[in-house]
Homo-oligomer: A and B are copies of this chain.
Amino acid sequence: MGRTHSNAFLKVNHFFDAQHEPVLACICARNAERAESFAAAWGYGATETDWRRMVESRQIDLIDIASPNDTHAEIAIAAAKAGKMVLCEKPLGRNASESEAMVQAVESAGVANMVWYNYRRVPAVTLAKQLIDEGRLGRVFHYRAKFLQDWTISSDLPQGGEGLWRLDVHVAGSGVTGDLLAHAIDTAIWLNGPLDEVTAVTETFIKSRMHKLTGRMEPVGIDDASAFLARFQNGSLATFEATRFARGHKAQYVFEINGEHASIAWDLHDLHRLGYFDHRDEGRLRGWRSIHVSDGDHPYMKHWWVPGVQIGYEHTFVHQVADFLTALEQGGKASPDFREGLLTDYVTDAVLQSASSRNWVKVHGQNR
């Protein structure tokens, strides 16, 4: 994620008007050589191998956390205490308890903060949000989301270590629940409001994997797949599913919302399109529209190219930085801040608890 973030910081001022211009002051990595190499490639002004020194530095205004999940809380809390602005990759902590401490820290310190739930900033997803806020759907009956991948099917894939910490429960906190469902839940809360209760099932298809750090076969502690049913506070029903065992899907995050008057569908594999069905269209001519979200009047798109040519994944990070700078300059918060990120963690905690207890579980902290 270091590359997506660095790219976003470097590009934002070329495409968006902002008074602030991010400066890549320092990159931190445990391995000094890799830090040097990354700094050279991206033009960072300095390198560190101990994040604490970055947090203490007077040259640095903002700490951006893109390290494994088990480091998020400690770094974020220290950064907040040092009065830095804090950006953090999702999910916030490995569980809601860690995340609560992070929220507490940034709010006590009064520092700007944001979680990188980047898919909100896909123009098609932001367009969906606009349509919902305009009331076009009417009463919502259904929300369904899936995030399907297939990269861990091989039992030869080890867990832990470089590039594979997502399979190590101690580092990641959970498997697809915190990694993939978290994205789906963040979008869902943003679009359809708080979730009330869930019933869930998880599965670990490969029970043990070689651990790259211990060199031994170790039990796998993460969930390979996770699915849940839910009710939203607005009365709509939901089905959510995430897995890394869905052959044929590299990163198929899809959601669909069915309202009284209209429905919306989106797919990360074609992120520049939005599906839209409006029952108020003339009867004979009703059909799902495939909106090519590349016009100047589509969210964020006037900043890019000409109608008909698409942007991609990395631009969502640029948009998030642009919105963060706008909030800094015009007041207001850049959403999702840590408190909003925590709402997602309450849901993933409830999902894991339900999968374990085999009961419906009420989601905490969702009143708003």
The answer for the CA separation of A89 and B363 in the assembled complex, in Å, is: 42
Task: Return A318 CB to nearest CB of chain B, in Å.
Answer: 11
Known interface pairs A199-B201, A229-B199, A309-B312; A284-B268 also in contact (CB < 8 Å): no
Is A81 among interface residues, defined by CB-CB distance under 8 A?
Answer: no
Contacts of A200 in B (CB 8 A): 229
Is A127 among interface residues, defined by CB-CB distance under 8 A?
Answer: yes
- Assess the A313–B313 pair: CB atoms within 8 A: no
Contact of A245 among B243, B258, B271, B304 (CB under 8 A): B258
Task: Return A284 CB to nearest CB of chain B, in Å.
Answer: 5
Total copies of the chain: 4
Of the 9-residue stretches A71-79, A167-175, A289-297, A328-336, which lies at the interface with chain B? A289-297
- Assess the B290–A288 pair: CB atoms within 8 A: yes
Contacts of A291 in B (CB 8 A): 284-287
Task: Return A335 CB to nearest CB of chain B, in Å.
Answer: 21
Known interface pairs A248-B258, A284-B297; A225-B292 also in contact (CB < 8 Å): no
Contacts of A246 in B (CB 8 A): 141-142, 258, 263
Counting contact residues on chain A (CB < 8 A from B), the size range is 35 or more
Of the 9-residue stretches A54-62, A275-283, A337-345, which lies at the interface with chain B? A275-283
Of the 9-residue stretches A102-110, A183-191, A211-219, A249-257, which lies at the interface with chain B? A249-257
- Assess the A309–B279 pair: CB atoms within 8 A: no
The answer for the CA separation of A261 and B227 in the assembled complex, in Å, is: 22
Interface residues of A in 80-116 (CB under 8 A from B): none
Contacts of A150 in B (CB 8 A): 258, 279
Task: Return A136 CB to nearest CB of chain B, in Å.
Answer: 9
The answer for the CA separation of A11 and B315 in the assembled complex, in Å, is: 13
Is A360 among interface residues, defined by CB-CB distance under 8 A?
Answer: yes
- Assess the A251–B283 pair: CB atoms within 8 A: no
Residue of B with least CB distance to A226: B237
Task: Return A199 CB to nearest CB of chain B, in Å.
Answer: 5
- Assess the A297–B269 pair: CB atoms within 8 A: no
Contact of A14 among B41, B141, B231, B360 (CB under 8 A): B41
Contact of A149 among B130, B237, B251, B308 (CB under 8 A): B308
A residues near B (Cβ < 8 Å) are 3-4, 6-7, 10-11, 13-14, 41-42, 127, 130-131, 141-142, 144, 146, 148-151, 153, 199-201, 203, 205, 225, 227-229, 231, 235, 237, 239, 241, 243, 245-252, 258-263, 268-274, 276-279, 281, 283-292, 294-295, 297-298, 304-315, 358-360
